[in-house]
């Protein structure tokens, strides 16, 4: 009990994504692009070069007709905590352009510090980081819809999901102005969670027992991606289907039941 | 000084060592990384006052509420409106991309007059005064020749004040040729008319059902009001409602259902009747409803009993006999089971046989006009305008039959037949069309056998488009009178299809008009003024906004405040008051026409010997296929298993591919009796062998550089197939073959 009180001073924002609810509609992807001034090119079909902070993967169980099954999996940045804030990317960044915030649990990305060595991209096991190979170009007039809350990135830097950090800042300011000690759960929601028509994405403070994610992450069917690497990600997935849960990590063929990593 | 080898090398090595010890290389590297990132053309969006405007999205017929975030006078983000009865905060990716249309390159910025050949994209800017004068002059000429019926209009909807103004204009001018673009709404309207005698739309109380049986309807793929459907799907997870999806391909809807039953495409009606057979045989039907509120049951029962035994049905549909029997029992034993149909997003009408059969299933279990059932929703009539006065020319024009044959003796109940329209324009010399208006429609992309439709359009001497955006049909216009986009105008959005309770949304101007565009309502009123006489008199309003305010009356203020008006307490009429036929009952066999639910199987074009495979479309919520095509964000989110560079990938079962000698990503040519196209193959286990599924919504031309030339338009490969009862185009696919590229 004492320990929990000590921890609750710090926030640990994270997500629980219900893959049984997710229909693969892709609203989260576009909500993220629209919120965060993500650029686009004439051809975006090379997905290695296509900047999508939140990317929707399509998984199949690869069984022949008619036993086939399909499941979608939205992948934002996992905001890995590692052990004591040692996220894979944070550990390797030579310019402190990316950092783990112990106050919020959010892995930041400061574009003006990044000089584009892309070491973080190599170290990220989730491929959640993207490099700006070109300057962003919006067609004539379209710059009007750009949001001043998120700075457009320039050529030569890495970018990734920030859990809509600018919304956290707004919510923090709002709480301060209203004299509230804490941010309301509903005041800080990411753009993807807000747009999701199926209600599959739940966002909140994993340390706060009053937040929905606190309970949801304890679901017996909850898992995280590549848990055995020890990245300690803050995005949980829930699926009632065993094959989907297995697809969340690298299992050898002869390995038996799913194992939980202990952190 | 003599430079020998030794001193030269010493100089070089010493220089290199000295430079690397100095801060110079590091400073240069640092500077170059800073300066390459500081180009002034990386935009810095201006900050300003934040505000929010509630409105309604009109990019699809879904009618979702939106909240648009603004910084000063710029719209920066569209979000779903919280507390809206349909979407409550949720929003689809088309809705989210709306600002890319508002500020995007495909906008038509001023009135334009075509100067090049059709489709060559060569235009001359003209003023609004000239544009309206020219259009009015043309209208006047045609009318002076006493041929007003030679003017037609194609519109994406026939409900709401804007389509009604257009229809009113056409009628008072003297033309009966107002045509709504086809969808399953046509099939449902006709079914309800024949079996219940109501002129109404089908509403589905899906959230309260406990079993949903879908005959290929893309529940989470954009059928009905898309966000509402996805929300309903999530609510079923909580209420443990079972969902059964019947279709040949594992669509996202099938993957999200509790049970996927693959079926031979086009045999859905047979399955529905097979289920009816079991339900009747085992007396699982609702006898109260059947005995007291229906007629024709015995006659239909005999037909079903003789023709649709599960073993026969199994052979035709490819579904195991036991599965059919179990499915029938599961359906009939649920307390609020609901069967729905209309394949994919429901943009192609279905055969009347199929729709009546599925509707009869709902009748068998008595799940009509009650919680969890199908409701016949009479159009909420808030438009109450004064009668129009027709002069002799108009009367004469209106007395001519419709060009598309809808409402004629052959198709008495069909209201609009855009499929026949193109044919008639092309071949009917007695009815030479002289002028066509296009509103919220893109028939040169969405109609089957597009090349034929294009040929017909080429014969129309004068085409006027009201489109805000460039697209295939806009490119064919002679004059474009660009409407404001939905983010710059007022408009009402009546209850969307499939919604059981009335909701009227109000589209509000979020930003000032960005370009020299005008509201279509105002333009219609101006055209009427220019023509004068009884035509002008039919439009007594100062402008469109006055008309809208006058029409909505007391609701106006509520709608300005909330963004919508709704009636949450609305309930469907009781069974006593439900049926508008002379019998005042539900008619399994329509007493007038003798029509009943039976499976006149709609055969598709092509013979099996030359075309051994079957091509079917597959709709995705990430590919808009209506009059608006994908904005850049949506194209960006299309999978590389659907679009790779400019190549479209079609889905095929790995076994079928193997037998034809193809592998993943193989290039191939797909040929149908109508056309052929180069594609790539994507092998997918979740599709029946022998079938090719092609993504819809791609293969655009004349829109913008972010979508043009990508993929193939499915509609170019498919020809129309007419339903014998409705005369609607109900082609659900076409026979095809694959050959190596």
For chain B, give every domain's residue range.
Answer: 5-36, 206-372, 613-740
Distance CA B615, CA B416 (A): 27
Q: How confident is the model at residue A257, as a pLDDT?
A: 61
Is the pLDDT assigned to residue B608 strictly greater than 60?
A: yes
Task: State the ipTM, two decimals.
Answer: 0.95
B169 phi, psi to nearest 5 deg: -60, -45
Helix (H, G, I), strand (E, B) or coil at B223: coil
| Average pLDDT score over chain A | 93
Distance CA B398, CA B396 (A): 6
Is residue A22 within 8 Å of residue A74, measured between CB atoms?
yes
Helix (H, G, I), strand (E, B) or coil at B282: coil
Question: Pick the residue with more confidence: A85 or B254?
Answer: B254
Q: Do A45 and B645 touch (CB under 8 A)?
A: yes
Q: Which residues pair with B504 in a beta bridge?
A: B565
A contact test, residue of B469, B633, B634, B700 with most A CBs within 10 A: B633
What's the full length of chain B, in residues? Answer: 741
Distance CA B184, CA B202 (A): 10
Helices (H), B257-351: 268-281, 287-293, 297-307, 310-317, 321-333
- Domain B206-372 in CATH 3.40.50.720: no
Q: How confident is the model at residue A175, as a pLDDT?
A: 95
Residue B581 sits at the chain A interface (C-beta within 8 Å): no
Q: Which residues pair with B694 in a beta bridge?
A: B617
Is residue B518 within 8 Å of residue B482, measured between CB atoms?
yes
Helix (H, G, I), strand (E, B) or coil at B734: strand
Which residues, 6 or more positions from A128, have their beta carbon under 8 angstroms from its beta carbon? A53, A75, A76, A77, A78, A160, A161
Distance CA A168, CA A104 (A): 9
Question: Pick the residue with more confidence: B61 or A5?
Answer: B61
Is the pLDDT assigned to residue B610 strictly greater than 90?
A: yes
Which residues, 6 or more positions from B570, have their beta carbon under 8 angstroms from its beta carbon? B500, B501, B502
At B41-91, the pLDDT tens digits run: 789 999 999 999 999 999 999 999 999 999 999 999 999 999 999 999 999
How many angstroms separate the CA of residue A35 from the nearest CA in chain B? 7
Residue B573 sits at the chain A interface (C-beta within 8 Å): no
Range A74-103 average pLDDT: 95
Distance CA B52, CA B79 (A): 10
How many angstroms separate the CA of residue A117 from the nearest CA in chain B? 10
Residue B81 sits at the chain A interface (C-beta within 8 Å): no
Task: Select the residue of B36, B226, B231 nearest A155 (Cβ to Cβ).
Answer: B36
- Of A13, A56, A53, A47, whose CA–CA distance to A32 is shortest? A53
Topology of the domain covering A2-247: Alpha-Beta Plaits (3.30.70)
CB atoms within 10 A of CB B431: 18
Q: How confident is the model at residue A3, as a pLDDT?
A: 43
Helix (H, G, I), strand (E, B) or coil at B695: strand
**Lookup: tokens for B534:** 């009884």
- Of A253-257, B163-167, B304-308, B594-598, which range is least confident? A253-257
Q: How confident is the model at residue B546, as a pLDDT?
A: 97
A contact test, residue of B98, B103, B665 with most A CBs within 10 A: B103
Range B362-370 average pLDDT: 96
CATH number assigned to the domain covering B613-740: 2.40.40.20
Task: Select the residue of B76, B105, B645 nearest A140 (Cβ to Cβ).
Answer: B105
Distance CA A38, CA B559 (A): 34
Kindly report the pTM of this predicted structure.
0.94
Q: Do B686 and A68 touch (CB under 8 A)?
A: yes
Residues 351-380 of B with CB under 8 A from A: none
Residues 696-715 of B with CB under 8 A from A: 704-706
Question: Pick the residue with more confidence: B36 or B663?
Answer: B663
**Lookup: tokens for A252:** 């050898």
Q: Do A31 and B96 touch (CB under 8 A)?
A: yes
At B160-218, the pLDDT tens digits run: 999 999 999 999 999 999 999 999 999 999 999 999 998 899 999 999 999 999 999 99
CB atoms within 10 A of CB B537: 13
Domain ranges of chain A: 2-247
CB atoms within 10 A of CB A142: 18
**Lookup: tokens for B425:** 């324009």
Is residue B296 within 8 Å of residue B588, measured between CB atoms?
yes
Residue B90 sits at the chain A interface (C-beta within 8 Å): yes
Distance CA B684, CA B687 (A): 6
């Amino acid at each position: 009990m004492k320990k929990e009180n000590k921890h609750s001073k710090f926030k640990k924002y994270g997500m629980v994504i219900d893959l049984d609810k997710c229909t693969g509609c892709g609203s989260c992807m576009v909500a993220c692009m629209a919120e965060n001034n993500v650029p686009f090119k004439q051809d975006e079909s090379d997905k290695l070069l296509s900047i999508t902070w939140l990317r929707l993967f399509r998984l199949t169980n690869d069984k022949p007709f008619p036993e086939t099954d399909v499941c979608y999996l939205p992948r934002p940045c996992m905001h890995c905590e590692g052990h004591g804030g040692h996220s894979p990317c944070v550990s390797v960044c030579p310019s402190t352009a990316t950092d783990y915030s112990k106050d919020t649990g959010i892995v930041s990305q400061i574009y003006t510090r990044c000089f584009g060595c892309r070491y973080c991209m190599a170290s990220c096991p989730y491929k959640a980081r993207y490099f700006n190979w070109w300057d962003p170009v919006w067609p004539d007039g379209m710059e009007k819809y750009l949001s001043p809350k998120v700075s457009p990135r320039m050529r030569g830097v890495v970018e990734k999901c920030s859990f809509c950090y600018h919304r956290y800042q707004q919510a923090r300011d709002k709480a301060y102005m209203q004299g509230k000690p804490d941010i309301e759960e509903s005041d800080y929601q990411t753009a993807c969670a807000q747009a999701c028509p199926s209600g599959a994405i739940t966002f909140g403070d994993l340390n706060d027992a009053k937040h929905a994610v606190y309970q949801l992450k304890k679901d017996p069917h909850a898992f995280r991606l590549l848990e055995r690497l020890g990245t300690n990600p803050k995005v949980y997935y829930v699926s009632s289907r065993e094959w989907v849960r297995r697809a969340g990590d690298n299992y050898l063929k002869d390995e038996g039941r799913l194992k939980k990593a202990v952190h | 000084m003599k430079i020998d080898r030794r001193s030269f090398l010493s100089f070089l090595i010493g220089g290199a060592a000295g430079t690397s010890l100095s801060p110079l290389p590091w400073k240069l590297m640092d500077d170059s990384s800073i300066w390459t990132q500081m180009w002034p053309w990386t935009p810095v969006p201006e900050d300003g006052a934040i505000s929010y405007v509630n409105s309604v999205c009109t990019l699809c017929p879904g009618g979702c509420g939106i909240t648009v975030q603004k910084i000063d006078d710029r719209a920066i983000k569209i979000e779903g409106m919280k507390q809206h009865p349909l979407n409550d905060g949720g929003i689809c990716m088309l809705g989210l991309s709306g600002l890319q249309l508002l500020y995007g390159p495909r906008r038509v910025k001023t009135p334009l007059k075509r100067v090049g050949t059709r489709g060559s994209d060569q235009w001359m800017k003209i003023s609004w005064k000239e544009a309206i004068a020219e259009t009015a002059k043309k209208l006047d000429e045609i009318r002076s020749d006493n041929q007003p019926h030679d003017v037609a209009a194609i519109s994406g909807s026939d409900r709401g004040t804007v389509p009604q103004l257009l229809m009113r204009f056409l009628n008072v001018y003297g033309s009966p040729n107002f045509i709504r673009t086809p969808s399953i709404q046509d099939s449902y309207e006709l079914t309800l008319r024949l079996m219940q005698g109501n002129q109404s739309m089908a509403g589905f109380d899906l959230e309260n059902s406990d079993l949903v049986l879908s005959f290929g309807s893309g529940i989470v793929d954009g059928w009905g009001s898309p966000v509402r459907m996805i929300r309903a799907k999530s609510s079923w997870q909580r209420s443990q409602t079972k969902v059964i999806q019947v279709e040949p391909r594992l669509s996202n809807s099938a993957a999200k259902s509790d049970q996927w039953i693959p079926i031979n495409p086009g045999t859905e009606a047979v399955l529905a009747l097979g289920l009816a057979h079991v339900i009747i045989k085992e007396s699982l039907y609702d006898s109260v409803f059947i005995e007291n509120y229906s007629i024709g049951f015995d006659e239909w029962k005999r037909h079903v009993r003789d023709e649709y035994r599960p073993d026969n049905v199994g052979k035709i549909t490819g579904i195991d006999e036991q599965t059919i029997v179990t499915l029938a029992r599961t359906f009939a034993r649920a307390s609020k089971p609901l069967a729905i149909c209309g394949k994919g997003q429901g943009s192609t009408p279905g055969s009347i046989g199929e729709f009546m059969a599925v509707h009869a299933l709902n009748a068998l279990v008595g799940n009509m006009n009650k919680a969890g059932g199908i409701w016949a929703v009479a159009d909420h009539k808030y438009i109450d305008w004064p009668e129009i006065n027709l002069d002799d020319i108009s009367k004469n024009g209106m007395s001519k039959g419709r060009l598309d044959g809808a409402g004629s003796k052959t198709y008495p109940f069909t209201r609009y037949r855009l499929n026949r329209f193109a044919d008639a324009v092309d071949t009917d010399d007695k009815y030479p069309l002289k002028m066509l208006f296009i509103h919220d429609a893109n028939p040169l992309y969405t109609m089957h056998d597009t090349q034929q439709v294009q040929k017909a359009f080429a014969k129309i001497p004068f085409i006027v488009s009201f489109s805000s955006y460039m697209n295939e049909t806009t490119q064919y216009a002679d004059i474009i009178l660009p409407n404001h986009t939905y983010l710059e105008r007022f408009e009402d959005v009546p209850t969307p299809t499939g919604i059981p309770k009335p909701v009227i949304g109000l589209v509000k101007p979020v930003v000032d008009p960005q370009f020299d565009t005008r509201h279509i309502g105002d333009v219609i009123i101006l055209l009427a003024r220019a023509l004068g006489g009884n035509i002008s008199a039919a439009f007594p309003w100062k402008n469109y906004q006055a008309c809208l305010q006058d029409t909505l009356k007391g609701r106006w203020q509520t709608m300005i405040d909330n963004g919508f008006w709704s009636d949450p307490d609305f309930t469907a009429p009781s069974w006593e008051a439900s049926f508008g036929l002379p019998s005042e009952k539900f008619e399994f066999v329509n007493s007038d026409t003798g029509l009943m639910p039976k499976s006149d199987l709609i055969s598709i074009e092509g013979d099996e010997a030359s075309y051994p495979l079957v091509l079917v479309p597959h709709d995705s919520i990430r590919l808009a296929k209506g009059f608006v095509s994908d904005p850049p964000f949506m194209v960006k989110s299309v999978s590389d298993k659907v679009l790779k560079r400019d190549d479209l990938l079609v889905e095929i079962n790995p076994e079928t591919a193997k037998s034809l000698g193809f592998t993943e990503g193989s290039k191939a040519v797909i040929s149908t009796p109508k056309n052929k196209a180069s594609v790539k193959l994507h092998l997918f286990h979740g599709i029946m062998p022998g079938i090719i599924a092609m993504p819809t919504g791609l293969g655009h031309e004349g829109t913008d550089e972010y979508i043009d030339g990508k993929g193939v338009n499915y509609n170019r490969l498919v020809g129309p197939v007419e339903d014998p009862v409705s005369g609607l185009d109900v082609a659900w696919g076409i026979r095809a073959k694959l050959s190596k590229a």
